[in-house]
Structure 1
Amino acid sequence: MPRRGSGSEGAPLRLSGWFAALRGWRRLIVAFLAGALGALAMPPFGMLPALVLSLSVAVWLMDGAAASRARLRQTLLPCAMVGWAWGFGYLTAGLWWLGSAFLVEADEFAWALPLGVVGLPAALASFYAVGFAGARLLWSPGAGRICGLAVGLAGAEWLRGHLFTGFPWNTLGMALGQNLWLTQSACLVGLYGLTLVAILVCAAPATLATGTSALGRFGPSGVAAVILGSLALFGANRIPVAHDKAVAGVRLRLVQPNLPQDAKFRPENREDIVDRYIELSQRPPLGGPAPTHIIWPESAFPFLIQRDPASLARVAGSLQSGQRLITGAARAEEPLPGERLRYFNAIMTIEPPNRISDTYDKVHLVPFGEYLPAPLDALLRAVGLRQFVSIPGGFSAGSRAGQRILDVPGLPPAAATICYEAIFPGAIVPSGVSMRPGLILNVTNDAWFGDTPGPRQHLAQARLRAVEEGLPLVRDANTGISAIIDAYGRVTASLPLNEEAVLDADLPASIDAPTLYARFGDWPFLAMLTAALLCALGAWRRA
Structure 2
Amino acid sequence: MTDQAVFPRLASLAGRLVTARGWKRLGLAALAGALATLSLPPLHALPLLWVAFPALVWLLRGSDRPKTDFTIGLAFAIGHHVPGLYWISAALFTDIGRFWFMLPASLLGLPAVLGLFLGVGTVAYGWARRRWGLTGWVEAAGLALAWVAVEYARGHMFTGFPWNLIGYGWVPVLPVLQTVSVIGIYGLSLLTVLAAALPATLVATKPSWRPALAGLLGLALLAGWGGWRMAGQGLGDVPDVRLRIVQPNIPQALKWKEEAKINNLRRLIDMSGAEGWDRVTHVIWPETAVPYFLSSDSDNPDQAPLTRLLTQIAPPGGALITGANRLATNEAGDYIYFNSLFALTQGGTVVASFDKAHLVPFGEYLPLRGLLPKGVKAVAAAADFSAGPGPRAVSLPGAPAASPLICYEVIFPGAVMPREGERPHWLLNLTNDAWYGQTAGPHQHFAITAVRAVEEGVPLVRAANTGISGVIDAYGRVRGALPLGDSGNLDISLPQRAETVPLYADYGDAVPVVIWLALLLGIAAFRPRPT
TM-score band, normalised by the shorter chain? over 0.9
Task: Please give the secondary structure, in 2, of the residue aligned with 1:298.
Answer: coil
**1:335-350 matches, cutoff 5 A:** 335-337=330-332, 340-350=334-344
- Matched residue, 1:415: 403
DSSP-derived class of the 2:3 partner: coil
CA 1:270–1:18: 2 relative to 1, 3 Å: closer
Is residue 424 of structure 2 the alignment partner of residue 430 of structure 1? no
1:294 maps onto 2:289 in alignment: no
1:231 to 212, 218, 222: 222
1:253 aligns with 2:244: yes
Structure 1 residue 439: Cα displacement: 0.3
Unaligned runs of 5+ in 1: 67-74
| Matches for 1:52-451 after TM superposition, within 5 Å | 52-66=50-64, 75-139=65-129, 140-210=134-204, 212-213=206-207, 217-241=208-232, 243-285=234-276, 290-306=279-295, 307-337=302-332, 340-373=334-367, 375=368, 377-382=369-374, 384-391=375-382, 393-398=383-388, 400-402=389-391, 404-431=392-419, 433-451=420-438
TM-score (norm 2): 0.95
Q: Distance in 2 between matches of 1:318 and 1:76?
A: 62
| Distance in 2 between residues matched to 1:211 and 1:219, nearest whole Å | 15
* Aligned residue number for residue 496 of structure 1: 483
Q: 1:211 to 1:218 in 2, by over 3 A?
A: farther
SS at match of 1:274: helix
> 1:423-482 deviations in whole A, cap 9, x for unaligned?
111001122x22111000000000000011100000000110000000000000000000
| CA deviations over 1:100-159 (Å, ceiling 9, x no partner) | 101111111123111101000101111111211121232112221111111111111011
Encode CA deviations 1:358-412: one digit per residue, 9 max, x unaligned: 1110000000011001x2x133342x43111233x221111x225x321111111
| 8 Å contact kept, 1:343–1:395 | yes
AA of the residue aligned to 1:406? V
Secondary structure of 1:401's counterpart equals coil
- Asked if the contact 2:4/2:205 (under 8 Å) is kept, the reply is no
Change (3 A) 1:22 1:538: farther
5+ long unaligned stretches in structure 2: 296-301
Residue in structure 1 matched with residue 517 of structure 2 by the alignment:
530
Deviation for aligned residue 1:267: 3.5
Query: How far apart in 2 are the matches of 1:11 and 1:390?
Result: 55
Deviations 1:31-56 (A, max 9, x none): 11110111000001001111111111
- Residue 414 of structure 1 contacts residue 438 of structure 1 at CA under 8 Å; is this kept in 2? yes
Structure 2 residue identity aligned to 1:148:
G
1:209-245 CA distance string (max 9 Å, x none): 22524xxx21111110111101110111111346311
What amino acid maps onto 1:325 in structure 2? L
Deviations 1:169-211 (A, max 9, x none): 0011112343111100100000000010011011111111225
Matched, 1:3 2:3: yes
Measured in 2, the distance between the counterparts of 1:445 and 1:530 equals 39
1:69 alignment counterpart: none
Rounded to whole Å, the distance in 2 between the matches of 1:254 and 1:161 is 30
1:511 counterpart (472, 495, 498): 498
| Counterpart residue identity of residue 313, structure 1 | R
* 484-493 or 174-183, larger mean C-alpha shift: 174-183
CA–CA separation in structure 2 for the residues paired with 1:285 and 1:208: 60
Distance in 1 between the 2:262 and 2:78 partners?
45
CA drift of 1:541 comes to 4.6
SS of equivalent to 2:101: helix
Q: How does 1:39-50 map to 2 (within 5 A)?
A: 39-50=37-48
Q: 3-state DSSP class of the match of 1:525?
A: helix
Checking the alignment, whether the CA contact within 8 Å between 1:187 and 1:468 is kept in structure 2 is: yes
C-alpha RMSD of the superposition: 1.7
Q: CA shift at 1:255, angstroms?
A: 0.5
Distance 2:308 2:508 in 1: 43
Match of 1:91, SS state, is helix
The corresponding residue for 2:25 is 27
Please give the alpha-carbon distance, in whole angstroms, between the structure 1 residues aligned to 2:255 and 2:196.
47
Distance 1:13 1:443 in 2: 50
- One-letter identity of the residue aligned with 1:191: I
> Alignment identity in percent?
38
Query: How far apart are residue 355 of structure 1 and its match?
Result: 1.5
Equivalence for 1:71: none
* C-alpha contact (below 8 Å) 2:57/2:197 kept by paired residues: yes
